[in-house]
């Protein structure tokens, strides 16, 4: 008889190409009164499960996981985990979670057209569009406020020279870099080149901002390359690690880009922004409201997208498996 140290039921989906693995069972109870506190408890006591459930041989470098948790202030709570870091907020993951909730029957056309979700970054509102057949068609997410942390931030990057970007927060930190300024064309055949250049820029930014109080203990800003196709439309490519890019246009990154365009006066408040990934699959973004965020102008942005179920099953951790904690290929 095979002996298992753990069994974890899950549902996988993808949102514009990027995966969300919702872990439905097997995670021990977490301590804390808020989702952020429960996330910290997971990190302190169960980080080995993050790598076991997301890394190879059960996952891969680009896998993102979601752990449902109870919330005292919202309809649902969620911890976002990835192959490298813990996420304060995840737009594509939230859309994927809504699809998973619909797939399991936890939400339906009968339960309503919206719900609230507590994340480590704050409470977000999720609106749902149901089809006549009762299927979930699209999800729109009103994110936590986005704001600028560093404007016209210049950094010397090895082999590239000086690179200038704006760095914004929208649940995570993002450095906005014009792809054309660094000689990039954003397409599938140039993904490896974009990864290499983006990682050099991200590493340089991390070193230059080390110890900055504004970034606190947050992960280093990821590099969001944008390639403008029109004033209200661009292709995105988000570099997360040397071997990991966001397959989607990045939900929270799209919110940050929309805020940047508003701040710089390149879009009107009523304009819709269209962001697409390197495969041409997109999100739409609209400005919901302008607000104050820690003494700065904040921008509440709504993004709209769709997710699709890809698999459902059980992940096992077999006793004596030498790779129980997983590994990542570089």
Give per-residue pLDDT as tens, 281-317. Answer: 999 999 999 998 777 899 999 999 999 999 999 999 9
Quote the pTM value. 0.96
Residue 325: inside a domain, yes or no? no
Residue 324: inside a domain, yes or no? no
Residue 254: inside a domain, yes or no? yes
Q: Are residue 197 and residue 298 in the same domain, yes or no? A: yes
Q: Are residue 90 and residue 231 in the same domain, yes or no? A: no
Give per-residue pLDDT as tens, 164-212. Answer: 999 999 999 999 999 999 999 999 999 999 999 999 999 999 999 998 9
Q: Are residue 289 and residue 175 in the same domain, yes or no? A: yes
The active-site residue out of 67, 95, 197, 250 is: 250
Burial class (CB in 10 A: 0-12, 13-18, 19+), 55: buried
The three-state (H, E, C) secondary structure of the chain, written as one string: CCCEEEEEEEEEEEECCEEEEEECCCCCCCCCCCHHHHHHHHHHHHHHHHHHHHCECCCCCCCEEEEEECCCCCCEEEEEEECCCEECCCHHHHHHHHHHHHHHCCCCCCCCCEEEEEECCEEEEEEEEECCCCCEEEEEEECCCEEEEEEEEEEEECCCEEEEEEEEECCCEEEEEEHHHHCCCCCHHHHHHHHHHHHHHHHHHHHHCCCCCCCCCCCCCEEEEEEEEECCEEEEEEEEECCEEECCCCHHHHHHHHHHHHHCCCCCCCCEEEEECCCCCEEEEEEEEEEEECCEEEEEEEEEECEEEEEEEEEEEECCCCCCCCECCC
Answer yes or no: is pLDDT of 114 > 80: yes
Catalytic residue status for 250: yes
Answer yes or no: is pLDDT of 2 > 90: no
Residue 330: inside a domain, yes or no? no
The active-site residue out of 22, 35, 90, 128 is: 90
Q: Are residue 221 and residue 286 in the same domain, yes or no? A: yes
Catalytic residue status for 90: yes
* Banded model confidence at residue 328, pLDDT cuts 50, 70, 90: confident
Q: Are residue 127 and residue 195 in the same domain, yes or no? A: no
pLDDT for 1: 64
Structural domain range at position 260:
147-304
Give per-residue pLDDT as tens, 57-95. Answer: 999 999 999 999 999 999 999 999 999 899 999 999 999
Listed in sequence order, the residues at least 6 apart from 44 whose beta carbon sits closer than 8 Å to its beta carbon are: none
Residue 326: inside a domain, yes or no? no
Residue 328: inside a domain, yes or no? no
What is the CATH number for 216? Answer: 3.10.310.10
Highest mean pLDDT among 3-17, 211-225, 256-270, 290-304: 256-270
Q: Are residue 138 and residue 27 in the same domain, yes or no? A: yes
Q: Are residue 115 and residue 53 in the same domain, yes or no? A: yes
Q: Are residue 203 and residue 313 in the same domain, yes or no? A: no
Answer yes or no: is pLDDT of 330 > 70: no
What total number of domains does the chain contain?
2
pLDDT for 168: 97
Q: Are residue 162 and residue 300 in the same domain, yes or no? A: yes
Residue 43: inside a domain, yes or no? yes
Higher pLDDT, 5 or 320: 320
Residue 288: inside a domain, yes or no? yes
Give per-residue pLDDT as tens, 201-236. Answer: 999 999 999 989 889 888 999 999 999 999 999 999
Q: Are residue 152 and residue 280 in the same domain, yes or no? A: yes
Higher pLDDT, 144 or 243: 144
Answer yes or no: is pLDDT of 3 > 80: no
Answer yes or no: is pLDDT of 5 > 90: no
Please state the rounded mean pLDDT for residues 319-330.
87
Q: Are residue 313 and residue 296 in the same domain, yes or no? A: no
Q: Are residue 46 and residue 170 in the same domain, yes or no? A: no
pLDDT for 195: 97
pLDDT for 329: 79
């Amino acid at each position: 008889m095979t002996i298992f140290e753990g069994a974890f039921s899950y549902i996988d989906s993808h949102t514009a190409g990027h995966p969300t693995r919702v872990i439905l069972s097997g995670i021990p109870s977490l301590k804390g009164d808020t989702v952020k506190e429960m996330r910290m408890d997971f990190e302190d006591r169960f980080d080995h499960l993050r790598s076991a459930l997301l890394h190879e041989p059960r996952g891969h470098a680009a896998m993102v996981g979601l752990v449902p948790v109870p919330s005292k202030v919202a309809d649902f709570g969620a911890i976002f985990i990835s192959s490298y870091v813990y996420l304060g907020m995840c737009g594509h993951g939230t859309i994927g979670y809504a699809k998973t909730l619909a797939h399991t029957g936890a939400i339906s056309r009968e339960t309503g057209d919206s719900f609230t979700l507590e994340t480590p970054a704050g409470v977000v509102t999720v609106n749902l569009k149901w089809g006549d057949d009762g299927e979930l068609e699209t999800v729109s997410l009103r994110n936590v406020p986005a704001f600028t942390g560093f404007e016209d931030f210049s950094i010397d990057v090895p082999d590239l020279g000086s690179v200038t970007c704006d760095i914004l927060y929208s649940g995570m930190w993002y450095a906005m870099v014009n792809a054309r300024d660094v000689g990039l064309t954003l397409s599938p055949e140039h993904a490896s080149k974009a990864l290499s250049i983006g990682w050099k820029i991200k590493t340089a930014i991390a070193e230059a901002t080390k110890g900055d109080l504004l970034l606190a203990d947050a992960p280093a800003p990821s590099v969001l390359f944008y390639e403008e196709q029109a004033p209200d439309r661009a292709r995105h490519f988000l570099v997360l690690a040397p071997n990991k890019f966001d397959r989607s246009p990045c939900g929270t990154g799209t919110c940050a880009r929309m805020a940047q365009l508003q701040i710089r006066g390149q879009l009107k408040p009523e304009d819709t922004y269209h962001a697409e990934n390197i495969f041409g699959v997109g999100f739409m973004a609209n400005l919901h409201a302008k607000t104050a965020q820690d003494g700065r102008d904040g921008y509440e942005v709504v993004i709209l997208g769709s997710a699709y179920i890809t698999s459902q099953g059980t992940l096992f951790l077999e006793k004596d498996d030498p790779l129980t904690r997983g590994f990542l290929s570089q």
